[in-house]
Amino acid sequence: MNEAQSRYDIPPYVLVMACLTSGFRGDLKTVRLTCSDHFLREALQRINSRSKSLSYAWSFHGEKSPTQCLSIRTAMADDNANVLTAQALIKFDTLQVKHITT
C-alpha cells in the first residue's frame, strides 16, 4: 500500500478522479503518488484544455459489481537484472456521476 492509499483509505482510481476534480481542489501531490507520469501528463493536458467558464465535479457512488481480475501475466523484463514485470487486466463496473455547470 502506498502513502496516498493509506492516507485516504480509498481505492486508487477513486482517489485519482477525486483529486483531478474539484473534490480535492487539484491535489496533484496525491495524484503523483498514485499514478504514472504518462497518465498525469495526459490528465493535466485535459484539465488545462477545459473551459474556464464551466465548473466540473465528479462523484463516485459505488461499485455496480465486484472488481474482477480478468487476466494476469508476468515475464522477465531483463534476463541480466532479474526484473519481473506484470500486466493485469482489471474490470471495474462502477457508478459515477460527472456534473458540468456554468
Cβ burial 53-76 (10 Å sphere, 16+ → b, else e): eeeeebebeeeeeeeeeeeeeeee
Q: What local confidence, expressed as pLDDT, does residue 1 receive?
A: 43
What's the rounded Cα separation, in Å, for the pair 52 and 62?
29
What's the rounded Cα separation, in Å, for the pair 44 and 40?
6
Q: What local confidence, expressed as pLDDT, does residue 72 receive?
A: 93
Q: What local confidence, expressed as pLDDT, does residue 23 receive?
A: 47
| pLDDT by position in tens, the chain (length 102) | 444 444 445 677 787 777 777 545 556 777 777 778 888 888 778 777 878 888 888 888 888 988 888 999 998 877 777 788 889 898 888 898 888 888
**String of DSSP letters for 61-80:** EEEEEEEEEEEEEEEEEETT
Q: Which three cell numbers stand for residue 79?
A: 534476463
